Chains A and B, each alone.
Chain A
């Protein structure tokens, strides 16, 4: 099973339909397939071990992804935001490679003759030229389709691998072929090196939903593209949504209110969505269906989701249990199993927090060096969370973020949720800080809401004491103007710990 099948099916069904729009250029499914076949011929000729992309999203990402798949060579989109030293180390790990994108940077950081390095334009042109006599048949798709380097906060980045079988299982289990009406279009603004960026290509092509690529996100560009091309779907990370809403509140891009009447569905994920923000979005887009997707690189993207009806039900409910679901990531996909386990591996009942384990055909859990799956095929996500009595999954941070105070496990999320209910608190994060007495204790950092006085330290401690146990009470409280996030909207807790150490 080769993922290139998805593009072949789309091109067979409607060769002339536009499959991708980028920088004003329009590519039909037949164009994309021809480019992928030509790219596969280039890749085979090169004898490379990897096909890498060091570039923003464009048609080249689609041609490289499917071209590499046809040629049976792993596709490795690289994070162009990495520092030189880190990127250089990754380039060495994938040599010999065919690399598309920033030629000067690759040559400077990895000056070997073993790599073939092409600009985006040169690659697309060469792929189209080779398409004329390139074979249609691809490899059988038994091997690795994608290799993604994890962010590597503590050690060297791990090379997570996704096999064709994982990705095919994910797409067949979640997307109905050609289900999108011809006018539909999905706005893709996540970078190509993120699993959501890859899944967006595969899902949209299999649904035959035209892809609108936004290579570099800005709220103005997003609103313009959504309005001009009549986007029906979009995937955003929470920080993108916050900036889009802020720009709309100012009257939209170009000083005009963009026409988003075609926008039926917004999916989000990749970081914690502030509850207040999603309530605001539901009010601002009353006719749009929101979907919260939870997944990891190692699980081929989404494993649980909270759908549009559940969003509206929670948003409009007075029942605190139903309302709280807006802070959940919904329920597992029908094709995966999820369990919560304690440190000894025992499965925990509903309501009890532990580490999230997942199993299913889409779950790879595999790295170049080793597989992280246990003997029964379960993948430990290192995410902490619990499942409520109705099956809704709530995340409470990374398992590594758990604060262990005197042998008691404290999840940062429970403290943050309480503190965030204070009207003068805009953002809050709890982290482990060293403690002589307890080993670790709770450090709390708070961003006061604009126009409010900062809440008192004792007042915040008292709030936590009243709502949770005394062990949860922060030992230290810091105030800041903003919290550190990465470009995907993930909170950088290690940076917050540095603030407490300073």
Chain B
């Protein structure tokens, strides 16, 4: 998946921008995300409905995948069924 690609959830309003990615399927609410929004939106499974937060970056443990949430929604992000977590960045003082 090319950096800059925008992916949309099939289960909620979530949209992400791919910052980096490897081999694997990027999912939201348990279903694969795609560049087009499907006509019918499903419902995220209860255990995959923790939600996404605007402007947060989501990463896998290996650091292969990084997604920027550009529209929040009810589903949770995962790759091949493994949940992604919010990238923990140390806040920096404003410098410009």
Contacts and interface: CB of A to CB of B under 8 A. Distances in A.
A178 B54 contact: yes
Contact of B19 (A1, A12, A175): A1
Interface string B43-66: 000000000001111000000000
A283 interface: no
Interface string A115-128: 00000000000000
Interface stretch (A218-226, A300-308, A419-427): A300-308
B60 to A, nearest CB: 17
B91 A308 contact: no
Interface of B: 3-4, 17, 19, 54-57, 68, 70-71, 89-96
A291 B91 contact: no
Of all A-B residue pairs in the complex, the 3 with the closest CB atoms, nearest first, are: A177-B55, A293-B95, A1-B4
B16 to A, nearest CB: 12
Contact of A172 (B54, B68, B90): B68
Given A1-B3, A1-B17, A186 B54 contact: no
26 contacts: A1-B3, A1-B19, A2-B4, A5-B17, A8-B70, A12-B54, A13-B54, A140-B4, A142-B4, A172-B68, A176-B89, A177-B55, A178-B55, A179-B91, A203-B96, A209-B94, A233-B94, A235-B95, A269-B96, A289-B93, A291-B94, A301-B95, A302-B96, A305-B92, A305-B93, A307-B93
Contacts of B89: 173, 176
Interface string A8-52: 110011000000000000000000000000000000000000000
Contacts, number: 77
Nearest to B20: A361
A91 to B, nearest CB: 28
Given A5-B17, A165-B3, A177-B56, A12 B95 contact: no
A307 B96 CA distance: 13
Contacts of A142: 4
A179 B93 CA distance: 11
A431 interface: no
Contact of B96 (A165, A177, A200): A200
A30 B6 CA distance: 21
Interface string A370-391: 0000000000000000000000
Given A9-B54, A13-B54, A293 B96 contact: yes
A411 B3 CA distance: 43
A172 B19 contact: yes
Contacts of B19: 1, 172
Nearest to B4: A1
Contacts of B93: 265, 267, 289, 291, 305, 307-308
Contacts of B68: 172
B94 A9 contact: no
Q: Which of B17, B68, B90, B92 has the most CB of A within 10 A?
A: B92
Contacts of A333: 92
A445 to B, nearest CB: 31
A213 B3 CA distance: 33
A267 B92 contact: no
B91 A203 contact: no
Given A9-B55, A172-B68, A269-B95, 20 more contacts: A1-B4, A2-B4, A12-B54, A165-B3, A173-B89, A175-B92, A177-B54, A178-B54, A178-B55, A196-B96, A199-B96, A203-B94, A203-B96, A267-B93, A289-B93, A291-B94, A295-B95, A302-B95, A305-B92, A333-B92
A165 B17 CA distance: 13
B96 A141 contact: no
A207 interface: yes
A174 B95 contact: yes
A267 B95 contact: yes
Contacts of A308: 93
Contacts of A13: 54-55
Contacts of A301: 95-96
A203 B95 CA distance: 9
Contacts of A451: none
A269 B19 CA distance: 29
A196 B89 CA distance: 23
A6 to B, nearest CB: 10
A295 B95 CA distance: 10
Contacts of A173: 89
B96 A176 contact: no
A289 B93 CA distance: 9
B94 A5 contact: no
Interface string A194-207: 00100110010001
A360 to B, nearest CB: 14
Nearest to B95: A293
Contacts of B57: 172
A267 B55 contact: no
A140 B4 CA distance: 7
A144 to B, nearest CB: 15
A334 interface: yes
B71 A265 contact: no
